[in-house]
Amino acid sequence: MEFSLTDDQQQLRRTVREFAEAEIAPHVMEWDEASQFPSELIPKLSEMGFLGVIFPENYGGAGMGYVEYALIIEELSRVDGSIGIIVAAHNSLCSNHIYKFGTEAQKQKYLVPLAQGKKLGCWSLTEPEAGSDAGGTRTVAAKEQEGLPGSRRGEPGRFDQWVINGSKTFTTNGHYADVCVAMAVTNPEKQHHGISAFIVEKGTPGFRPGKKENKLGLRASDTSEVVFTDCRVPAENLLGREGEGFVNCLQILDGGRISIASLGLGMAQGAYESALRYAKERKQFGKAIAEFQAIQFKLADMATQIEAARLLTYRAAWLADRAASSPDHRTRITREASMAKLYAGEVAVRVANEAVQIHGGYGFIKDYPAEKFYRDVKLCTIGEGTSEIQRLVIARQLLGK
């Protein structure tokens, strides 16, 4: 068994860390306080290849794998989780859905500019009444024949566009995305097998971002509603087979959960480093608090849990790379991705909590990074499926259901 990173992967980590320290760290609190989406950073992320990490070079991507992707999300999130989740939603959700299930024409039209970083993507599954129960989707898409040359209304099997109505919530990058992959019901009688995925471009009549959420943490990332009102998209913008959108989403979420595991891992590392640094500097009773056994035990537990989360996350990423290279590309990593996401997310919350405790009163104010990590990490036990849902997914995998 090989546990070490390659020389190229180690160099990638150093490169991303240097980028994050130089381009992100000076602006973290400014962006957070103002809930400001870092639009000026997007071209720099694109130039570094971070917006097309897991896609082949012939589609405009960086041609790297999930291990490299996990490293990138981890290192960005070590400085600011908001940037990590912007990059993650673009890569593993929107762009990856098109890469895995899109036609060649869709890949050329949409994936290439997304992977090149010329366009930003978002992915819309959740609705106000369809969170953990994504099968409760209420957004609908109906076939419309009007406008097809030579067609007659009601003629079976012939249509030229879909009309989408409904709304989505908790969409990362919702206000700033150029391309949205959204799920809608196309056959309510088939329940989970009656949901389809669609590609919707920014500027399409009837498609608009809605309310921007005022969040506890990750405030520099944009989380918003997206609204569809008689939104007409071409028939060729159906993504994957009709009725298989929800099934495909479950496969996309395998990669998405590796993203959230990496996000939590990075923020946990950042919180731990801030606590370690503070413990060495803070003096009480004539010596640094790092010399007190109570603080040492906290730091030891934090470091141990982070390393365990790192191994789970990297293993899931490694398996994702193996799955991607399998002949049929259908190997599932559901259990491993859910385990990584569950554990890393909950570790991030525990580590951030201890980081605040080690800082004492200073952990409660914004002059130190512990406060922000504490707010940001909670998303990791909620997004891409709550911890409770992860346990359910893992249990079903263990029982062969």
Q: Provide the annotated active-site residues.
A: 384
User: How many Cβ atoms from other residues are within 10 Å of residue 300's Cβ?
Assistant: 11
**SS3 at position 185:** strand
Are the C-beta atoms of residues 179 and 191 closer than 8 Å to each other?
Answer: no
Are 73 and 93 within 8 A, CB to CB?
A: no
> HEC states along 294-356?
HHHHHHHHHHHHHHHHHHHHHHHHHHHHHHHCCCCCCCCCHHHHHHHHHHHHHHHHHHHHHHH
Cβ contacts of 183 within 8 Å, gap of 6 or more: 124, 125, 134, 137, 139, 195, 196, 197, 198, 245, 246, 249
Say which residues have a Cβ less than 8 Å from residue 295's Cβ, sequence separation at least 6.
Answer: 279, 289, 358
Please check whether residue 176 is in contact with residue 196, taking contact to mean a CB–CB distance below 8 angstroms.
Answer: no
Contacts with 251 (C-beta within 8 Å, 6 or more apart), sequence order: 100, 332
Q: Is the dihedral of CA 318, 331, 394, 218 positive or negative?
A: positive
Residue 198, SS3 per DSSP: strand
Q: How far apart are CA 251 and CA 34, in angstroms?
A: 35
Radius of gyration (C-alpha) of the chain in whole angstroms = 22
